[in-house]
Amino acid sequence: MERVKGKVAIVTGAARGQGAAEARLLAKEGAKVCLTDVLVDEGRTVAEELQKEGYDTVFERLDVTDPKAWQTVVEGVIQRYGKIDILVNNAGILAMEGVEDTTLEIWNRVLSVNLTGVFLGMKTVLPYMKQQRSGSIINTSSIYGLIGSGGAAAYQATKGAVRILTKTAAVEYAPYWIRINSVHPGVIDTPMIAGIKEAGALEQVNALTALPRLGTPEDIAFGVLYLASDESSFVTGSELVIDGGYTTR
């Protein structure tokens, strides 16, 4: 199928869940993929599995809150492959506390990963994409970047901010033929929703979803693949909602 054949991609948070699924699909569709995460053993395992299948992948440790680490990873990809066509800002963390229970420490930690990490990723790759006058950046927001819900105050704040940051950057970099879009997953069956399961709120979430199942990481990966490919060459500043109909209610 090779929908992104010859392209070079960086995927953050690629050790498991959505990020791993996105990295696998991009590789299987022809991209050379740099998988990044702070979970080194798990990330290397995913990259090595893909290498054994014949795909061109590499793993690099990346703390998305660290600008120096971003520069090191991006420069390494440029040296290895000569370009960067795709950035998937997938890394994120979840905190379930509501406004009153969210400490400043929790607030700052969630913002640093979910929002500052996206900002730093774009800031680091954009100079290279400007030079080549092409590129696709996909930022992971959430349905809670579109609608409100009780609890998870810091998480939801970051996802709303990612949505608007994406649109702002899309306008700024459109003259360089760089496309920047956001994906908005619903409740996806990944390790991140462990807190929802523990809180006993999963049945309530499922009741609000039109399609009677949880989403899978692969559901999101196919949306990312579309935005990464030339099939979406006239799509920028857009919100791709993949939520089983949750936000239609």
pLDDT at 192 over 90: no
Please tell me which residue in 55, 144, 155, 246 is annotated as part of the active site.
155
Retrieve residue 179's tokens: 């496309």
Beta-strand pair 135-140/32-37: unpaired
pTM of the full structure: 0.94
Task: Report pLDDT for 211.
Answer: 84
**Annotation marks residue 155 as catalytic:** yes
Retrieve residue 22's tokens: 């996105």
Arithmetic mean of pLDDT over the chain? 94
- Domains of the chain by range and CATH? 8-248 (3.40.50.720)
Helices and strands (H and E) in the chain: how many: 9, 7
pLDDT at 198 over 60: no
User: 117-134: per-residue pLDDT in tens?
Assistant: 999 999 999 999 999 999
User: 43-60: per-residue pLDDT in tens?
Assistant: 999 999 999 999 999 999
